[in-house]
Each structure stands twice: as structure tokens, then as C-alpha cells.
Amino acid sequence: MSVRNPNYQQVHDLYELCSDGRSLQEFCRMSGVSYQKYMEWLRGQELSKPLKKPDSEPVMGTVSIPDAPSSQTNDCPIRDLNVRLANGTFLKMHHVSLDECVSVLQKLLS
């Protein structure tokens, strides 16, 4: 049985309360709701939410680099650097110096 105009918020709430370990796709099928349409609604909900500020200020962690280059070779490029911050921000840099990396990270965290 298919629900004609489902209230996707109610479907979402029911799944959170009563899923009993079922997959979301199975729960939608058993409830008579189109899984694809529910997922479209859910994605729209996520996109319309304002970004929330993190609960705490970012903290610069201590990083130790074994065999780090001396300050005389600071201009040697770092081939690839991938950083994921606590708030989910992902930073990808290519062919940058150690000084450039530090500068960018300090700007992001200030």
C-alpha cells in the first residue's frame, strides 16, 4: 500500500523511534513511502538548515613531524596535504611550502 501524500517529517520521526534495526529503505517500503522521494526530502532538509557554530572554539593541536626539514629548506614544496578540521572542513593543498601551510592553518583557526 502506497501513501499518497506522506508527511516526511512524521516518517522521519517514526523511523527514529521505531526502526527496530531495520534499514531505512525497508522501513519506507513497509510504511508505503517511496524511499527515493523520502531521500530527496531529507537532502532538502539538510541543505536548508543553517550552518551551526561549533560548540567550542577550535584548538590548534600539537603536530610533530619526524625528520622535519630544517628551516633552511622551508621553501621545499609539500606535494600533497589533506587536513580535516573538527568542524568537518576539509582542506586540500598541493605543492606548497611549510610556511604557506602554517599560514593557511593559522588563518583558518583565528
> What share of the chain has pLDDT > 90, as a percent?
3
DSSP assignment letter at 19? -
pLDDT tens digits for 84-101? 777 777 788 888 888 888
Q: Are 40 and 58 found together in one domain?
A: no
Its domain, for residue 40, covers: 8-48
Residue 1 pLDDT greater than 50, yes or no: no
What distance in Å separates the CA atoms of residue 105 and residue 26, rounded to the nearest whole number?
44
Place of cell 532538502: 44
In a domain, 3, yes or no: no
Cα separation, 80 vs 77, in Å, equals 9
- 73 and 90 belong to one structural domain: yes
Model's pTM, two decimal places?
0.41
Tens digit of each residue's pLDDT (9 = 90 or more) over 26-35: 888 888 899 9
